Amino acid sequence: MLMNAVSVEADDVVAKLRSYIEDGGYKPGDRLESERELIVRLDVTRARLRKALDALEHEGAIWRHVGKGTFIASPSVGSGPSNLSILSQQVTPVQLMRARQALEPAIAREAALHASEEAVRQLKECRDRATNAPTWDEYEAQDDNFHRTLAEATDNVLLLSLFDHLNAVRRAVAWNNVVRQSERPARTHSSFSEHDTIVAAIEARDPKAAQAAMRTHLGSVAARLFGEA
């Protein structure tokens, strides 16, 4: 009887957390409050909250990154958490980067063809937030938002879903720790000018230039990470 009571209580916290997310108007990529804030808002213990977070992460509703926080996942990614877990264990960082190089230049091309003026405006905002990020962690979060906003700009739900699945694997793949020599990216960080070039090509409605700019950008990222283009 005690075990059943504990199970019901755990289910209640999961339901409470799920309702909190649904009622809060969170979108994919949004960051949830800290555990300390959620404990107060939901009136639960830390242990119960962490079990609820574990349950939602297993469902694929959220994803967590040590040092960055808890984020809302795309609904389309939540359909197969066990498959995602298995896939992430089979994919190496190099393979993941090559998959990005295959998909994201095509996404940039489609964005140049179909992005609305509002989508271009949002893309510029994401670019600027990444450029002005005060820390590496914040830069990486804003860089993630930039790439997803670019996928949204294609106005193609299937391409967005493919991007979200690829991005979910990217978050789950084990990366080696990168030693940072500074608190934030230098103003000369190559990604800043590369983002500028991508945005300019999309705003100019130049699909070939957008595709080439994204290919160059991801090649630069690969070179920094693995010493290859």
Strand-pairing partners, residue 64, are 70
Q: How far apart are CA 143 and CA 145, in angstroms?
A: 5
Please tell me the total number of residues recorded for the chain in this structure: 229
The answer to whether residues 99 and 144 touch, using CB atoms and an 8 Å cutoff, is: no
The band of 67, judged by pLDDT with boundaries at 50, 70 and 90, is: low
Question: pLDDT by residue (tens digit) across 170-224?
Answer: 877 755 545 566 788 888 899 999 999 999 999 999 999 999 999 999 999 999 8
Per DSSP, the three-state class of 111 is: helix
Mean pLDDT, residues 77-100: 74
Instruction: Give pLDDT, residue 175.
Output: 58
Q: How far apart are CA 188 and CA 172, in angstroms?
A: 29
Q: Where are the domains of the chain?
A: 2-73, 79-226
Instruction: Give pLDDT, residue 112.
Output: 98
Instruction: Give pLDDT, residue 87.
Output: 73
The band of 1, judged by pLDDT with boundaries at 50, 70 and 90, is: very low
Angle at 156 between CA 153 and CA 160, to 5 degrees: 75
- Any idea which architecture 79-226 has in CATH? Up-down Bundle (1.20)
Nearest to 61 by CA among 88, 32, 34, 41: 32
Nearest to 9 by CA among 40, 62, 49, 67: 49
Evaluate if residue 7 carries a pLDDT over 50: no
Evaluate if residue 78 carries a pLDDT over 60: no
The tokens describing 72, both together, are: 């809302």
Evaluate if residue 13 carries a pLDDT over 70: yes
**Domain 2-73 = CATH 1.10.10.10:** yes
